[in-house]
Chains A and B, each alone.
Chain A
Amino acid sequence: MNWIANFVRPKIRALVNKPDVPDNLWEKCPSCEQMVFHRELDANLRVCPHCNHHLRISARQRLEWLFDDGEFKVIELPETLADPLKFRDRKRYTDRLKEAQAKNEDKEAIVVAHGEIGGSSVVLAAFNFSFMGGSMGMAVGEGLLAAARLAVLQDAALIVVPASGGARMQEGILSLMQMPRSVIAVDLVKEAGLPYIVLLSDPTTGGVSASFAMLGDIAIAEPGATIGFAGKRVIEETIRETLPEGFQRSEYLLDHGMVDMVVPRQELKVTLGRVLNLLSVKSPSAEIVPLPGTEDIAVEVEAEAEVEAETSQETAENGKGEPEDGKTE
């Protein structure tokens, strides 16, 4: 892609004004504002090819792009009280929920699935920012608990990918109570001696960052994600100062010792696979095939998939993490 292709193509399209080309085939990068062809953007895991901005992705995309061969099983989440407070601001909470459900694939802000990453058994809970800002209410709390319990049952690692502005205000105190409840969830996994990895994506703030999201054995952040407790506006109003460059971004947190690493989206899968392997396969074995390094991932996707398939077979043979789907759901 060169400059001309990107800048001129949308303009030409506008001039020609072909009615059979829907507008949404081109997307504007929210960071550099360049137009990117949607297929190119998806092929690049929705990372802007011009400025490397990591666009927000849905929970389903997250699952597809992280699990080996894009294969996973989504689990049904427990029902929770729909509107415990009968909350109403300018709109009814029940109406806000319906709207969110209408425009989303899933019924709530979290999706839980199990499968393998780099051959290791994993339960993955991914947030949907587009569902009421990924806010954490009772359903999300129950989702995290279900994910943790499944991980323990399957002897699998738990990976959580928050993308959330914080607590769901419309559930009042019950949303605040999801902070201790989600902490209990991760402690169930930790007490079982299983890895709990957090993959902080944009944004991870408020009550979500101040609970399960900051308690990972390993904390990985996607580049440029906003991660913090208080909102920027609140801080500015309190201290009456402008905030430093890059404040509350992944790289800033890395500099301040709050995350282990900042990993580009294209390298997440390999990094997670390696980390999980190191945390679970603890002694030398003739059967262990070293996982590929992080370099050359883009070109060697196929080769990698093969290696991963092999490793997954081996772990199953070793008697580790053999999720028989029937018994786990």
Chain B
Amino acid sequence: MHNFLDFEKPIAELEGKIEELRHLSDSGDMNIAEEVTKLQGKADRLLRQTYARLTAWQKSQVARHPDRPHFRHYIEQLVDDFTPLAGDRAFAEDAAIVGGIGRFRGYSVMVIGQEKGSDTHARVKHNFGMARPEGYRKAQRLMEMADRFGLPLITLVDTAGAYPGIGAEERGQSQAIARSIEVSLGMKVPVISVIIGEGGSGGAIALASANSVIMLEHSIYSVISPEGCASILWRSGDQAKEAAEALKLTAQDLKKLGVIDEVVAEPLGGAHRGADTTITAVGDVVERLLVEMRRKDGTVLKQQRRDKFLGMGQKGLS
């Protein structure tokens, strides 16, 4: 592990020690090997304890972890013959949102999602997963295409939010998001959304107006970032921790509120410590939902999607 979060410091220290000892044990010293095993057990316990009770703010950091699997990793592992489709046919190609057709466990599907990028070059290319209107308009184009060809839509949501810029506003960021929601809600094919990391506000719901919305265990989904909320309601960004708690942005709270349908467990220590396992688990849930939904008539799917959103807000948290 190269990137440890602040609250993982004790774990990082243990693992550092283990690493040092391992170098020494190359000489074949049995005592050192024993010590390594002992320390490893301790590190695992600490990791388990820490991740069993992550606070909302800690989860926000895990959700944004640079090593967390991103859109690209899901595609590589789950979708064969992925064929990306570019451009909104009006202004530009926006790589913050990637979309295309491909084969997911035998089914031909449309996949759309934000890509945050895992290195500097990719982050800049994909604008850190913050889409401009063109990204959302490309998404609409692909949604409409999926609808026409009867391809189920899978979206992978991972964004801090829509990009706040002059050009984005001039070209109708609001309209682009609004219309994405509208197109998604009107689809007559299964729509399944997975919040794989950060579900940031309007930029997220634009791709998450789905029949089923599932979330990874340590992902977050919120109307505003904890930092943004703190700076408005607490008048200081330093209160992000309090804001994260108050916003109830964890998968567990959102499930209780009836806003999301399912929580997918992450491996010990978070998705970034076991990308393959995480991605397979997501794939399994999506496949199950897809199989269920494919049997249903298009108008039924559309109505069920509507009813799901209309039914929200019946229960609060105690």
Contact = CB atoms under 8 A, between A and B. Distances in A.
Interface of A: 80-81, 83-90, 138, 141-142, 145, 167, 169-177, 179-181, 183-184, 187, 206-207, 209-215, 227-231, 234-235, 238-239, 241, 243-244, 247-248, 252, 256-258
B175 A214 contact: yes
B316 A183 contact: no
B155 to A, nearest CB: 13
A227 to B, nearest CB: 8
A243 B166 CA distance: 7
A145 B206 CA distance: 20
B185 A210 contact: no
Contact of A235 (B169, B175, B206, B259): B169
A206 B233 CA distance: 16
Contact of B202 (A141, A173, A206, A238): A206
A210 B233 contact: no
A167 B223 contact: yes
Nearest to B186: A187
Closest 6 CB pairs of A and B: A84-B316, A230-B164, A89-B233, A209-B174, A176-B223, A210-B177
B205 interface: yes
B172 A256 contact: yes
Contacts of B310: 145, 181, 184
B183 to A, nearest CB: 10
Given A173-B223, A235-B164, A84 B202 contact: no
Nearest to B245: A88
A231 B202 CA distance: 13
Given A173-B221, A173-B259, A177-B312, A183 B182 contact: yes
Given A215-B175, A252-B170, 11 more contacts: A84-B316, A85-B317, A89-B234, A172-B247, A172-B249, A176-B223, A177-B309, A184-B185, A207-B201, A210-B174, A215-B182
Interface string B156-179: 000000111110111111110111
B2 to A, nearest CB: 28
Contacts of B171: 256
B164 A234 contact: yes
A85 B316 CA distance: 6
Interface residues of B, number: 54
Contacts of B163: 238
B257 interface: yes
Among A84, A86, A90, A173, find the residue whose CB has the most chain B CB atoms closer than 10 A: A173
B184 to A, nearest CB: 8
Interface in B212-245: 221-224, 228-229, 232-235, 242-243
Contact of A228 (B174, B221, B224, B257): B174
A199 to B, nearest CB: 16
Nearest to A207: B202
A235 B259 CA distance: 30
A209 B172 CA distance: 10
B106 interface: no
Contacts of A167: 201, 223-224
